[in-house]
Amino acid sequence: MSNVEQRLEKILDHVKRHNQGEHEFHQAVKEVIETLGPVLRKHPEYAEQKIIERICEPERQIIFRVPWMDDNGEVQINRGFRVGFNSALGPYKGGLRFHPSVYLGIIKFLGFEQTFKNALSGMPIGGAKGGADFDPKGKSDSEVMRFCQSYMTELYRHIGEMTDVPAGDIGVGAREIGYLFGQYKRITNRYESGVLTGKSPQWGGALVRREATGYGAIFFAQEMLRVRGESLEGKTCIVSGSGNVAIYAIEKLQQLGARVVACSDSGGVIYDKRGLDLDSIKRIKEVERKRISEYHQIHPEAEYYAEGVIWNIPCDFAFPCATQNEISEASARKLLENGCIGVSEGANMPVTPKGVKLFLDAGIAYGPGKAANAGGVATSALEMQQNASRDTWSFEYTEDRLQKIMANIHANCFETAAEYDSPGNYVVGANIVGFKRVAEAMLAFGLI
């Protein structure tokens, strides 16, 4: 092992020992560190100044009690988080996740990924993540409101348009952002639009933000196929999840002439060989907030597999848009056996390390989340621009900006992968572009 490799190994050991039990965080750090050897060899100053060691330690971590009262008058207590990972390139920026599986290790993996993703997006934003172990499933609207108000009653003192700008993630959409913003406005006595993104376009939100992550993952897939002389038209696709990212990934795929045959939620998988009826999915998920199994009631000819694995369904292109580690090694192998030629990640870290290795070894078009799902946060940065200038842009103009941003991210990853002797490897490309941007800013600022 060379000196550089030994050094990287030591850093990873340190991260594991000092963040015990945080498996998802270890996984995210390992995946980045493994690609940085060639960068350290070209830039010894990064090693001298311990840039990687510093980047792996969040700048600040806030953990707080969130007490709220349910509809039966019973007191409930959840744990809230906000981790400001890195602010070298701009105010902390990243979503909030409300899901019962949330603990510090999940928030830190997401904040770590966000730092590189945001740098890669080319926008002036640092990296952060937050959330709570609150389960929105089965909660009434007023319970969600009371939870959001209590959560913001602590969070407000840590955020601000120049400090930290949260947005949505799993379990946090326009409804939750509305309740959070309302409470922030009351407590601070300021109409500070730029403190949160993903707002409704009726009161300060950007058009296209709702669609941006899903659309962006498709634009990224389009670029990966374009350099291979292919397109999405006529391709059979599957999209996991049926939340915000999945729905708009499906919408853009259908607009581009692909046939999307399957989607899912944590209860099961819908397989509709004729192509999914997206209007029904939007009604079930966005309006009625019900389970995807309802689709089967409307379309009995479609198949529903309770607790099924979506990755067993044959496809040309797969879009994981639900959650971390949803594609196991076995699922990755199944996708390849079925002839899948590409994977573009709408979700964060949806493929296990062994699955990623199979995709890279097979040489398929594999777009890691840091690159492929950066359209969401990039459009959040466009929302911040509109809020700062008290302006609103049209849907067409904003979508065009998003498409150019995704093409630019793709080009940067593609060229950097080639420069570092890994042609076509977007994992290497994305990690190195993102890391170098953060590293250069940190060097410029002195010891921070």
The site for ligand 2IT (CB under 6 A) is made up of 93-95, 114, 117, 167, 169, 197, 348, 376-377, 380
What's 42's DSSP letter?
Answer: H
Interacting stretch for ligand NDP, rule CB under 6 A, among 158-166, 175-183, 341-349, 409-417? 341-349
Q: Check binding of 183 to ligand NDP (CB under 6 A).
A: no
Binding mask 346-375 for ligand NDP (x = CB under 6 A): xxx------------------------x--
Instruction: Name the residue with tokens 């009434």.
Output: 140
> Interface mask (CB under 6 A) for ligand NDP, residues 195-214, using x and -?
------------------x-
Residue closer to ligand 2IT by CB (options 348, 387) is 348
Q: Which letter, b or e, does each residue of 336-352 get, where b requires 16 or more Cβ atoms within 10 Å of its Cβ?
A: beeebbbbbbbbbbbbb
* Angstrom distance (rounded) from CA 127 to CA 91: 8
Task: Say which of 108, 117, 129, 139 is annotated catalytic.
Answer: 129
Alpha-carbon distances, residue 324 vs 124, 239, 320 (angstroms)? 26, 14, 9
**Minimal CA–CA distance to 220: which of 403, 52, 430?**
403
Beta bridge pairs of residue 262:
238, 271
Q: Give the residue at shortest CB distance from ligand NDP.
A: 243
The contacts of residue 274 (CB under 8 Å, 6+ apart) are: 301
Alpha-carbon span 351 to 329, nearest angstrom: 8
Q: Where are the alpha helices (DSSP H) in 389-425?
A: 395-419
Residue 398 within binding range of ligand NDP, rule CB under 6 A: no
Q: Which of 90, 94, 166, 171 is in the footprint of ligand NDP by CB under 6 A?
A: 171
- Check residue 130 for interaction with ligand NDP (CB under 6 A): no
Q: Does 322 help bind ligand NDP (rule: CB under 6 A)?
A: yes
The answer to whether the beta carbons of residues 171 and 202 sit under 8 Å apart is no
**Which of ligand 2IT, ligand NDP, none binds 245 (CB below 5-8 Å, type-dependent)?**
ligand NDP
The bridge status of strand 342-344 relative to strand 75-86 is unpaired
Of residues 220-249, those binding ligand NDP (CB under 6 A): 241-246
- Could you confirm whether 129 is annotated as catalytic? yes
Q: Is 192 in a helix, a strand, or coil? A: coil
Q: What is Dmax (Cα atoms) for the chain?
A: 63
Per DSSP bridges, beta strands 127-132 and 164-168 are unpaired
* Residue 94 interacts with which of ligand NDP, ligand 2IT, none, CB < 5 to 8 Å by class: ligand 2IT
The least CB distance from residue 329 to ligand 2IT, in Å, is 24
Q: Cβ of residue 318: shortest distance to ligand NDP, in angstroms?
A: 14
Interface ranges with ligand NDP (CB under 6 A): 95, 99, 101, 168-171, 173, 213, 241-246, 265-267, 321-323, 346-348, 373, 376
Residues assigned a catalytic role: 129
